[in-house]
Amino acid sequence: MRYKQLLFLVGALFFLGCFLEVAPAFSFMYIKEHDLLPRLVFEEFATGREKVFSAELHHPLILIFWGADIDTKRQRAATVLDLLQDNLPFYSQRQVEVAAVFVQPEQLGNAAAVLASRRLDFPVYVDTLSHSFDKLGVYVMPSFLIVDQEGRVHRGVSYSHNLDAILPGEVQVMLHEKSRAELNSELHPEVVEKSGAERRGRIDYHYALNLIQRRRSDLALEKLDMALEKIPDFPPALIEKGCLLIKKEKLQEAHDLLERGLALFPGLKRGQECVEELKAAQAKGGAEKVEKKFDPSSWGFFADDYEEEDEEAGREDGEHQR
């Protein structure tokens, strides 16, 4: 009975945390931060070869634990596997090993279906011995276990809407590239009334996005400049301007803007995509001529932060057309 009560309490706290949009709960019951990683034995998904993880590995590690018995778990697993694949260069540059662990060996068919539609450059294992449950106490799937180079648990992170910011941020804190206070400030900025200039700058930025969708890049650049006059260190505006300048063959200026934007917000996928586009343009000695589909989903959590401002930008756009 006490075990069931504990599970109920943990689950309630997790869902309350999600509702309040605070940082994800520590999603492992039998370990805590700074504990040494216990010896974990898994089997490679494709070959069945044994793999051991332990505190003696002497390098940073991210393990993702996932399941596939219901649609929600399969969808979330697909999302986070793609997220890790997209951000793999970030982890590789920091010599952080990434591996996925499937925790439901009785559901291998469902797991194979999730994996079949994606190419992953990191290994996938199966937890045939239930070490994820018996030694770690994982209770939310998918969940991430982040381990430092000394084999100690740095963080246990459960599924959240802003994992694209949380995971790279936690790695930066672990490697002393960023302080805990800085990460908390980025993830949970204080709810304060924006100054008139800042609010106007964000409206300019959203108006620029509307112009980009209509392929009116010159006017979009003007609006981005207006946004950056009001908010000089606004990563989405810096990056979006850099992306536009690639197509105008202003590659050095584009490089400087993208570098500045990603230094302020390393996890912004839109910036990473444009860096790859810039490299291709530099390799050809000019800008890419093929227009890429404008994909708001790549903006990171800035895409849906300012719905009210987006509406106001739309109203202004209508007045401009009239």
Rg (CA), the chain: 22
Count CB-CB contacts under 10 A for residue 228.
Answer: 18
Bridge partners of 146, per DSSP, are 62, 155
**For residue 71, which amino acid is it?**
D
Taking residues 158-165, report their average pLDDT. Answer: 88
pLDDT over threshold 50, residue 10: no
pLDDT band for position 237 (cuts 50, 70, 90): very high
SS3 283: helix
Supply the pTM of this predicted model: 0.55
Return the CATH fold of 196-321.
Answer: 1.25.40
Bridge partners of 61, per DSSP, are 97, 147
**Residue range 207-217, pLDDT digits in tens:** 898 899 888 99
Please report, for residues 1, 220, 276, the alpha-carbon distance to residue 223 in angstroms, rounded to integers and kept in the order given: 61, 5, 24
pLDDT at 26 (0 to 100): 79
CA pair distance 103, 68, nearest whole angstrom: 9
Q: Which residues contact 252 (CB under 8 A, 6 or more apart)?
A: none
**Residue range 70-128, pLDDT digits in tens:** 999 999 999 999 999 999 999 999 999 999 999 999 999 999 999 998 999 999 999 99
CATH number attached to the domain at 17-187? 3.40.30.10
CA pair distance 90, 87, nearest whole angstrom: 5
129-133, 225-229, 283-287: lowest mean pLDDT where? 283-287
Provide the mean pLDDT of the chain: 82
CA pair distance 262, 235, nearest whole angstrom: 7
**Residue range 12-61, pLDDT digits in tens:** 444 434 433 334 567 899 999 999 999 999 999 999 999 999 999 888 99
DSSP structure class, residue 40 = E
pLDDT at 266 (0 to 100): 78
State the helix-helix crossing angle for 235-247 and 251-264, rounded to 10 degrees: 160
**Residue range 306-315, pLDDT digits in tens:** 334 444 444 4
For the chain, what are the domain ranges? 17-187, 196-321
**For residue 89, which amino acid is it?**
P
pLDDT at 210 (0 to 100): 85
pLDDT over threshold 60, residue 298: no
pLDDT band for position 190 (cuts 50, 70, 90): low
